Amino acid sequence: MPEKVETGVTIRQKKGGKIFLKPARPVSLVMLSSGLDSLYALVKLLTETDDVVLVHHVHIINNENRHEIEAKRTRQLADWCRAKYRDFRYSESTINHKGFKGFGFDIMSVAFEAGMVCRSFYEANDYPVSKLLTGWCTEEESYPGRSPHVKAVVVANCFPYEPPKFFFFDRVTKMEEARYLPPALVRMSWTCRRPVISEGGEAEECGKCPSCEVMEPIHLMFRTKPIIEKRL
Ligand SMILES: [Zn+2]
């Protein structure tokens, strides 16, 4: 979990007399999955801003059996970005919905943990995380009416502290994200929702889930198939 982060702070006072700390640079939290959307947000943040960056990955355990390969690839992506661009704080947590027939939207689990990260950050630093970034691309339409609930989950876990502002860079297509990113990162990503796990523990893309369908032209362009990965 985020501990104290040295950003340089100044002490400010509101008109009502309330004293608060203001960081010298914005603090941005990216909820990094192993897919292209959040990776695009992270790379833009690292290369186009001087924000202090926090990166958090949620192990979402459910009946789709994708959490191990997602965690492995996410760590590889984070290591690559840290070495190539600049340093950031990395943390992980786990939500286990294994055995549930319905396990809800990933974004709700991610929002819940984002709120926890922001809360933890505030308690360590006495000021809030400035911005929260998750992935978003044009192919994935937001479920109607869901957005207020996502924000409510983040706010609930931050309470009574100030929640972060939701922030998105320009919303582009998955292919535009892939073209923006270094090819090595595109190849390192993992996007299949329902990997086929062999008896030997190897994960292979199913080629049939909605994510695999969207990624098909990108896989062809970047020659990322077949992807077979040993169990962690
Ligand atoms: Zn798939």
The 10s digit of each residue's pLDDT in 155-196 is 999 999 999 999 988 889 999 999 999 999 999 999 999 999
Q: Separation of 208 CA from ligand 1 center, angstroms?
A: 5
Q: Separation of 210 CA from ligand 1 center, angstroms?
A: 7
CATH number at residue 52: 3.40.50
Predicted confidence band at 147 (pLDDT cuts at 50, 70, 90)?
confident
Rounded CA-CA distance 145/184 in Å is 36
Q: Separation of 217 CA from ligand 1 center, angstroms?
A: 14
Domain count, the chain: 1
- Which residue shows structure tokens 């192990």? 59
Q: Separation of 125 CA from ligand 1 center, angstroms?
A: 40
pLDDT, tens digit, for every residue of 59-108? Answer: 999 888 899 999 999 999 999 999 999 999 999 999 999 888 887 888 99
**228 belongs to a structural domain:** no
**106 belongs to a structural domain:** yes
**110 belongs to a structural domain:** yes
**16 belongs to a structural domain:** yes
pLDDT exceeds 60 at position 127: yes
Strand, helix or coil for residue 195: coil
Strand, helix or coil for residue 183: helix
pLDDT, tens digit, for every residue of 194-210? Answer: 999 888 888 999 999 98
Q: Report whether 150 contacts 107 (CB < 8 A).
A: yes
**203 belongs to a structural domain:** no
**207 belongs to a structural domain:** no
Q: Separation of 191 CA from ligand 1 center, angstroms?
A: 7
Domain coverage including residue 41: 9-172
